[in-house]
Every structure is written in C-alpha cells, then in structure tokens.
Structure 1
Amino acid sequence: MTLMDVLVAPGSDDTPDAVTVDGQRTSREGLLLAATALAVRLVGAPAAAVPATPTLETVTAVVAGLLAGVPVVPVPPDAGPVERGHVLRDSGAALLLGAAPEGWGDTGLQAVPVDPWARGAAGPAEAALSEPSADATALVLYTSGTTGSPKGVLLTRSAVAADLDALAEAWAWTPRDTLVHGLPLFHVHGLVLGVLGALRVGSRLVHTGRPTPQRYAAAGGSLYFGVPTVWGRVAADPAAAGALRSARLLVSGSAPLPASVFSALEGLTGHRPVERYGMTETLITVSARADGERRPGAVGVPVSGVRTRLVEQDEDGIGELQVQGPTLFSGYLHRPEATAASFTGDGWFRTGDMAVIEPDGTHRIVGRASTDLIKSGGYRIGAGEVENALLDHPAVREVAVVGAPHDDLGQQVVAYVVAEGVTGDELIDFVARSLSVHKRPRVVRFLDELPRNAMGKPQKKLLPPL
C-alpha cells in the first residue's frame, strides 16, 4: 500500500477536521491534494528542510516530501545558528519548505512556499509521482551525542512503516481513535508517531499546538501522547486530568515517567499510563501493551518484529541493551565509522542504555551507560534507580542523579534536586532506607529547575558543577 493509498484508505477518518493542528483543520483528502500539489515541485531534490513549527504547513510539507520520495529534514524552529547551519549543510538539503522562522536569516536554500489549502486535481499530479523503494530514506533526523556535532539519522520508509504498524498492534490503535498531543514536530515522538502514525492508521489527529493540560482536556481524544513534563502538569491540574477519564489510552515516552506521576495519573484519570522505549536510531522498540500489564518504571516488551538482549550483565541483572529488527535506521549520514561502531559484529545495535529484563520479559531502563551508570566503590549503580527512589519522597518534584569524580570511590553519587521543605541529609537517609546503602547520594544539590530539552528530557551535561 502506498502512502497516497494510506491517506485516504477505506475506514480512515476523513471528516473536515480529520487533521487539526493548533486550530487549523483539514480533511485527509484535502491534505493529500495540498501535499500532492507540492510534491510534484520537489521530485529530484537531494533533500528538503522543513522548519518544524506546530502548523498544518509543516504536516503538508512532510507529507509532500514523502510523496515525492525526497528525504525530509525537520529542523527545530528555535535552533541556534550554529546547530541550524550544521543541519542544513550536513543534510545536503537544497530546498526549504515553508517560510523561514523569524531570526533565521538567509539559509542559502531555495524557498518553496507551502499552501495547505492548495486544491489541484490529484489524479494528474499523482501521475507525475512514483512510489519510492522501501529502503529509500524518508527522514533525516538529527540527534546529539555527548560530544561532537549532531548526527543525521537516516530512517527508511520501511523502518517507519514497520514501527507504526507494530505500535498500532501493541496499542490497539485504529481509525476509530482520535489521537491528541502537542509535541514538537522535529522528533520521533511528535512527528513519526504523532503525525505519520495517525495518517497511517487512519485515526483523527488533534495537535494542540502547546501541550497544556487545558488543551489536552478540551480535545476529547481517545489516545493521548505526552512526555513526563506534560503528564506532570496534567497530574497537577485535577480538573484537566479528570477530563481524560473518557480516553482509552495515555502513552508516555521520551524520558522515564516518575512513579509519583504514574500514580497520580492513575488516581485522577483512571488510567495506568503506557510507557515505551526507543531512540531516534531505532524508533520505538519496546512498549507496554494496551491489553497488558503496566507497571511504574517499566517500558514493557519488544514490539512485533523486534528482538532485544542484554550484554555484560552484573549480579543485579543490569546489562547494556542491544536491539535488532526492521525499525532500525540505515546509518548516520556521512559517518560510516560512527555507523559501524554503533553495531556489534553480529548485527545488533548498541543502544548505550542499561536495562534489566524481568522474568516475564518486561524491560526496565536503568539509564545511559555513559552518564547513568555510576561506578562507585566497586559497585555499579543505575542513576535511574536512585532517581526513582528520590521521587518517592513527597517533597521532591524533579531529580537528576549523576556520578562525580571521587578520590577514594572513583565516583560518588550526586543528586540534583528540585524540592522544598526537606534537607539534603534527610533525602540521603530516605534513599538509604529504600535502596542499598551504597546507592545513597553522597551529595545533594538543590536547584530551582533542571535543564531540559524540547522533549522534557533532563540534560545532565548542562547541570552546574559541584
């Protein structure tokens, strides 16, 4: 089935507001017509950059690129000039689809206007388009590591399709659903799952613009996507949370959901949230299921077609998670050495995340091997475990745990905490009562807020030094 077939597939929601983005509405047929009219102007381009604002223009531009078989490069609209310049140069984009946001200046790319209301004859335009091969690059998404410039992750059409179909099966996602979210459109979560997922499944899509509790409550969805920051704000607004009782499923991702937020959502909405795990390079590989058990701190089981394994496990069962399956990326753009280094000799992707797989197959992510595995006094300590313990304290709102150099221990456990009415010593004792004593923080530093990225994920490399 081609993408054009999917957009107007039998059973799909094609009401006049089948696709709504921050108040702008269109039908699926209208989106197809506008995207097709744009797509015929893109054929043959090496890549097309899209300023990924939360607008119907962005959705139209992305779909047009996919119809034309041109790799789409979503660019954060608030990206700084250095990051933006790197992405535009490195991606090889020749076109800029839509208007450059204020402050971008001259990008050096050919600007192509995007009109979500263009209504040409689809038939003749479609005749000028041909379905690209399954292994053709659909998206180039840039992801930052701990060092160096962001790397362009090449996601094929088949990888995107395989992941969306697997998630539709895991979450019982059908054309009868209305998906609601307000996530950025330059990441996997907001764009691939939150836009292309709804288009492929055939469900109605409501992008709220900003992901406020009030907008989520007013949207009337059956399926909601959010990051922990969003869900924390929803849980802090009982009226908005209560409005989600009529939903079918709440899904959280992009960062671990604190157990306290999980419990609050369950009490206020009647739903135990679905948590899932993935990376830009792998898309979503592990998830709790709509018909399965959902436990705080657990991200479920591998989705259809995906295999996982742990290597170099310690006595607590913690090991590095590696994955295989049809959802994996095809490589880093222009970086063959980095691509080769990210895979094992027998073809497994090294996620760099530390995990535990429980006897029933449920996965728990402990943290990043590079930043969240702390080696202290001969022990290996998962930062995520200590963070969850601290978040169980009623005074703690946010926390990030890292390992800091220590002359005797090698590393010491340091907790950066957003809290009121509690001392560092009290928090240290609190952790020591619930975890092994060697896992307690030795230093607690209080902050007004944690540095976070656009998806709400704490940025530990931006934490202030001790």
Structure 2
Amino acid sequence: MARTRYLSHEVIREDRPDGSILLRSAHGLGPVASRTTDWLHDWAERTPDAVFLAERDGEGWRKVTYTEALTQVRAIAAGLLARGLGAETPILIISGNGVDHGLLTLAAQYVGVPTVPVAEQYALIPEANRQLEHVTRLTHPRMVYAVDGDRFGAALNLPWFDGLERVVSVNVPEGTTAFANLATVAGPDVDAANAMVGPDTLAKILMTSGSTSSPKGVLTTHRMMCTNQAQLAVCLPFLKRKPPRIVDWLPWNHVFGGSHNFNMMLANGGALYIDDGKPMPALIGRTIENQRLVTGTLAFNVPVGFAFLRDAMKQDADLRRSYFESLDLLFYAGASLPQDVWADLEAMAREVRGEVPLFTSSWGLTETAPACLIQHEPTNRSGVVGVPVPGVTIKLVPDEDMRCEVRVQGPTVTPGYFEDPAKTAKSFDAEGYFITGDAMKFLDPSDMNKGMVFDGRISEDFKLLTGTWVRAANLRLDVLAHLGGLAADVIVTGADRNEIGVFIIPTASLRAHPDASENEGALIVPSEAAEIARRLKARASEGSATRVTRALILSEPPSVSDGEITAKGNLNFRKLLTRRAQFLDRLYDDDDPAAILI
C-alpha cells in the first residue's frame, strides 16, 4: 500500500423499473467555491510567495507567485473593464499554454468576461484557418490574444479579425496592443464587477474537438469548474495534505489541461510548471529536459506520453529517481494505457520508493467539466475509469450485452451549447440527463464498487448486412495492438457491408519503405502486406463481429484542413470516411491490387 491513504469506493445503486441503473457516490461533497478567483485570493493570503505559474525562460523559469498573480490579474481585469468588455464580449485566445495566457484567463474570469481558447494549430496551419473562422463567427469575440506576434502574425491579420483588438505578448506588431499595456490601476469598479460574478457566470466557451461535426461551443460556468475541484478533493485526499506540483503540457484549449489540471493547482495552492515539450519525437526531448529541472507530485499524460517517458527513464536512473521520488499520482487519459507501459512504470516506482503511487484514470467530457467517474482506490490494471464522483448521478441504459449507454446529471454538467438551442435540446433526455454517447461495462458485474470500464462510443458502432453489431472503438484498439509498428492508426469499416475491413494510416517508416509504391492514393508494400495479413489473421477473436477480412493502406496522411484530424489530434472517422468514400469501394474490391485480403 502506498504512503497516502486512499478513499475507498462506495457506490449507491438504484435499479429502476425501466431497466436503467442509477449510480451515485456514497461520499459527501465538501465545500464548493463560488468562483474560480476565490481560490486566487485564498492562496495569495495563505501562501503569498508560493509559485503558482511558471514557464521556461532561457535556462530557467519565469515564475509568478500567488500574490504576484493576484496583483496582475486585478490590473488586467481593470484594463478589460476600461475597454468595455463584459459577459457579451468574449476574448479569443489562439496561442497555447503560457503564463500570460493564464493571467488573462483569470483576469477575464475575475470580472465576468468569457474566454474562448482554441487549438493553436487553427492559427498556425493555414489550411486549418477555416476552423478559426468558424469559431470567430460563432462566438463574436471583442479581443484576440496571441503570445508571439511573429509566430502568429499571419493569423492575426486574417480578415475575420478586422475590428477586434489584437493583443500580443512578445514581438508586438504595429497596430496591436502589447499585453503589458493591458494592465491599469485596479479600483472599485474591479471589486464591484468581481462581486457580480457567481456560480452561474459563464467562465469559458470550450470548443469540442469536432470529431463528428464542426466544433461546438460548450458553455462552462464557474459552478461547473468549482464543483469539479471539490469532487476531486474528496476523491484524492492527498491534494489537501500538501500543495501539488505538476510539469504539464496538456493544452488549455482542452478541458483536461485547461479546466481539470489548471484549476487543480489553483484550488489547492499548487504550482503549474508549463512543459513546452510534447509527446512526439521532435519535442519529447524538451519534456525530458523540463522534467530534469522540476519534477511533479502529480503526473498527467496521455498513453503515448507515458510510453516516451518510460523509454527515457529505462536509460536514465537519475531521471527515474527524480520523477518518482515525490509522486503521489500517475494519471492517464485520452485512451487506455498499454499494460506493458503500466507494468514498467509500476516496476520503476517500486525500485525508487518501494511502492506505487495511485495509478489511475477517470472519465468525463468537455460538457461535464470534466471528471464524472474516477478510480480513486488502487487497481492493478489499465482501462478502469472508476466510480461516480460525489454530487453527480450516472444513469446507465444497458443493452442485451450488459453494455451500458452513459448519461449524467449534476452541477458539473453544461447548461448547453453556445447559440445552439437545437443541439442543446437534443443532448438531454426527458429527465434532464446529459446524453454522452459513451458506453461502459462493469469491471465485475457482481461488485459495482470495482468500477467501470470504458467500452467505446455508441455512435461509432455499426451493423453488418448480416445484422451483426460491430463495436468499432474496441475493435480498433485490438487491431492496432496486433499491427504494432505497421500502423499509426486504423479506421474500421463495414457498415451495411458483409465484412469488416480497415483503412491503415501507415507509420512514417512504412511510407518510406523501399518496396512502397503509390496507387492512386493507396500504398502498396508487398513485403509488408503479407505481414499485415498474417497478424490480422492470427488475432484470437474470429467471430463475425471482430474478424477483419481486408485492409487498405492510405498513402495520403489525414488532413487537418479538411477536418480529418480534430483539435485534440484524434482522427475524425466520419469525416475521413466521407472524404475518402471512393476508397471504400476499392477496399471491398477483391481485384484491386492495393487491397490486402485476409
């Protein structure tokens, strides 16, 4: 057992006459802040000199303490009020994580001005600018912020920003406002505006990833974010025992990085060191460098990020020791962590400290602020997302396979989508539960306290012409595991057809293979096609719902500009299949030379 005492799972279950199941936590919810900036006042008084935000500056860090943050937030807030900004005039933020980004966000929340943070690739990739235009025309911002006038200069001059005040931190172009000049003297008007901010005040409009349509604006209130932190504090009691610290890259335009992690530090007097690296080959070196300079008491990452760190720590005992010695939590999200990565990290933790920190995950959506389920007691396997957090009710609607559609009700659920009443209405059932579209199964149907396992998206499932249901999300993960280094990703096909097929997104090494040749958008690699067929044929599951009979390697990578990749970097399966509809016919043509028949 690890050094910290964990909260046990205690779930209340209600079985209803209509077959649905309600789950609630038996644990009570503690005090809930009225607004996010109450935390800033609290910690500026209690630990004024403690670091709140930090970012790389040369060989070291630019650090902002809690008292410095409060002073700057109030001064920036005064500048926003002087410009006439309010609840109807959002601020669009088009660059990634940074100290100034964080201060501007809190200043806006201090006086009731919503912010709209978006993925920076919308601004930096010209082909993706159409997404930026969509967000701008939807949310009607009054101001747009970017950290660097050189890097974001082209985006700042896009025509749909005409008439907006452009604010830039460094390399400030002519005609734009320097971020340092936003601040002014904070007076009674700032106090009065802050007093008007309450639990139902709109804090942020977070854009969904656009995995099935254009990005939607999720209304995110102070109540949602403040309640979620109170829930997490109950489930993770070590957060209150000592101020946490993270070295974190997760983007603030996404709910995981920008609401869950950012607010966890703010609510608990913690320190957020902004990692300017990322879990990709070109940038993971920067992450490792940052981890050498500062290590966290909590570690949040996606599975591929933990895999990169695992590989680095295998070769570096000093990094391994510093990473684990003060760690209370290893938290993965975005997908299930491969069990070999889990096992290696557990072994390293035991080597360094003789025990394993809480190794866990949770489940939630942008629309739920985010955490609804969390595994808050130790487990020995990946993929478990746990039990309800206090204060929310989970409604499960089972099917014949004991797979349950998940719906959520509680104070962390969004009131709806920005300027989209029709979509809002469709997103709630007759009882007011938010319809998530996700599916779950009980880890142990005889013991609900063991928690739940994510079981895919309902919308990704389809039927073969035989009437057989295909659970596409789970099948995709299984196929990826069997293909190993031969596929960067796969798209499962077969809706209204007789057989299951897959489109293969090849790895860079497969594209560069000496035997590779292109055939009208498909890649032919004879020496590897046989290996792909062998691996798919060797899969243990041979039922019609899981048997893959054909594959096609796509030579053209997924396109950001055409919406085939979402802001979170995930594949937009529906968009990709629609845009490449002609390849479906080729995939199911036994005479096509690019088709791999299994």
Pairwise same-fold verdict (TM > 0.5) = yes
Contact in 2 for aligned 1:342/1:350 (Cα 8 Å): yes
2:361 is paired with a residue whose SS is: strand
- The reply to whether residue 414 of structure 1 matches residue 494 of structure 2 is no
Q: Which has the higher contact order (CA 8 A, sep 6+)?
A: 2
Return 276-285 or 28-37, whichever deviates more.
276-285
Query: Structure 2 residue aligned with 1:322, among 401, 407, 419?
Result: 407
Q: Which residue of 1 aligns with 2:570?
A: 457
Q: Which residue of 1 aligns with 2:395?
A: 309
Q: Which residue of 2 aligns with 1:235?
A: 310
Q: Which residue of 2 aligns with 1:374?
A: 462
2:107 is paired with a residue whose SS is: helix
Distance 2:489 2:497 in 1: 25
1:331 is paired with a residue whose SS is: coil
TM-score by length of 2: 0.69
Q: Give the partner amino acid of 1:5.
A: D
1:351 is paired with a residue whose SS is: strand
Distance 2:571 2:270 in 1: 32
- What are the ranges of 5 or more consecutive residues in structure 2 without an aligned counterpart? 1-32, 123-127, 168-176, 279-283, 351-355, 511-527, 559-564, 588-598
1:378 is paired with a residue whose SS is: coil
Q: Which residue of 1 aligns with 2:142?
A: 94
- The reply to whether residue 154 of structure 1 matches residue 219 of structure 2 is yes
- The reply to whether residue 83 of structure 1 matches residue 83 of structure 2 is no
Classify 1:210/1:117 alpha carbon distance in 2 versus 1 (closer, same or farther; 3 Å).
Answer: farther
Query: Structure 1 residue aligned with 2:549, among 437, 442, 445?
Result: 442
Distance 1:142 1:129 in 2: 26
Q: Give the partner amino acid of 1:236.
A: D
Distance 1:264 1:384 in 2: 26
Q: Which residue of 1 aligns with 2:493?
A: 403
Distance 1:82 1:389 in 2: 34
Q: Which residue of 2 aligns with 1:332?
A: 417
Distance 1:83 1:224 in 2: 31
Q: Which residue of 2 aligns with 1:296?
A: 382
Q: Which residue of 1 aligns with 2:514?
A: none
Contact in 2 for aligned 1:308/1:323 (Cα 8 Å): yes
Classify 1:399/1:97 alpha carbon distance in 2 versus 1 (closer, same or farther; 3 Å).
Answer: closer
Contact in 1 for aligned 2:404/2:439 (Cα 8 Å): yes
Query: Structure 2 residue aligned with 1:129, among 189, 193, 196?
Result: 193
Query: Structure 2 residue aligned with 1:195, among 258, 262, 265?
Result: 262
Query: Structure 2 residue aligned with 1:266, among 346, 357, 382?
Result: 346
Q: Which residue of 2 aligns with 1:58?
A: 101
Query: Structure 1 residue aligned with 2:435, among 316, 337, 350?
Result: 350
Distance 2:476 2:321 in 1: 28
Return 289-298 or 137-146, whichever deviates more.
289-298
Q: Which residue of 1 aligns with 2:593?
A: none
Return 210-219 or 35-44, whichever deviates more.
210-219
Q: Which residue of 1 aligns with 2:5?
A: none
Return 272-281 or 373-382, whichever deviates more.
373-382
Q: Give the partner amino acid of 1:262.
A: W
Q: Which residue of 2 aligns with 1:6?
A: 39
- The reply to whether residue 278 of structure 1 matches residue 364 of structure 2 is yes
1:106-185 to structure 2, matched below 5 A, reads: 106=157, 107-108=161-162, 109-112=164-167, 113=177, 115=179, 126-131=190-195, 132-172=197-237, 173-174=239-240, 175-185=242-252
Shift of 1:277: 1.3
Distance 2:532 2:368 in 1: 38
Shift of 1:83: 1.2
Contact in 2 for aligned 1:332/1:338 (Cα 8 Å): yes
Q: Which residue of 2 aligns with 1:103?
A: 154
Return 69-78 or 261-270, whichever deviates more.
261-270
Contact in 2 for aligned 1:40/1:129 (Cα 8 Å): no
Contact in 1 for aligned 2:442/2:452 (Cα 8 Å): yes
Shift of 1:110: 1.9
Distance 1:394 1:157 in 2: 44
Shift of 1:290: 4.0
Contact in 2 for aligned 1:141/1:152 (Cα 8 Å): yes
Contact in 2 for aligned 1:390/1:430 (Cα 8 Å): no
Contact in 2 for aligned 1:254/1:457 (Cα 8 Å): no
Contact in 2 for aligned 1:34/1:116 (Cα 8 Å): no
Percent identity reads: 25
Q: Which residue of 1 aligns with 2:52?
A: 18
Q: Spell out, residue by residue over 1:132-187, the C-alpha distance to the aligned partner (whole angstroms, 9 max, x if none).
A: 12111111011144554321110111011111221232233234211221111211
Contact in 2 for aligned 1:343/1:349 (Cα 8 Å): yes
Classify 1:20/1:261 alpha carbon distance in 2 versus 1 (closer, same or farther; 3 Å).
Answer: same
Contact in 1 for aligned 2:506/2:553 (Cα 8 Å): yes
Classify 1:346/1:234 alpha carbon distance in 2 versus 1 (closer, same or farther; 3 Å).
Answer: same
**Structure ID, larger Rg:** 2
Distance 1:228 1:302 in 2: 23
Q: Give the partner amino acid of 1:87.
A: V
Classify 1:381/1:177 alpha carbon distance in 2 versus 1 (closer, same or farther; 3 Å).
Answer: same
- What are the ranges of 5 or more consecutive residues in structure 1 without an aligned counterpart? none
Contact in 2 for aligned 1:170/1:287 (Cα 8 Å): no
1:69 is paired with a residue whose SS is: coil
Classify 1:148/1:382 alpha carbon distance in 2 versus 1 (closer, same or farther; 3 Å).
Answer: closer
Query: Structure 2 residue aligned with 1:210, among 247, 259, 277?
Result: 277
Distance 2:542 2:48 in 1: 53
Q: Which has the higher helix share?
A: 2
Classify 1:275/1:3 alpha carbon distance in 2 versus 1 (closer, same or farther; 3 Å).
Answer: closer
Classify 1:166/1:96 alpha carbon distance in 2 versus 1 (closer, same or farther; 3 Å).
Answer: same
Distance 1:169 1:179 in 2: 19
Contact in 2 for aligned 1:276/1:284 (Cα 8 Å): no
Return 241-250 or 263-272, whichever deviates more.
263-272
Q: Give the partner amino acid of 1:386.
A: L
Q: Spell out, residue by residue over 1:345-398, the C-alpha distance to the aligned partner (whole angstroms, 9 max, x if none).
A: 111111111221333332222222222x23233332323433443455484575
Contact in 2 for aligned 1:36/1:125 (Cα 8 Å): no
Q: Spell out, residue by residue over 1:196-250, the C-alpha distance to the aligned partner (whole angstroms, 9 max, x if none).
A: 2211221111111223340335421110111223222222322355642221111
Q: How many corresponding residue pairs? A: 461
Q: Which residue of 1 aligns with 2:3?
A: none
Q: Which residue of 2 aligns with 1:430?
A: 538
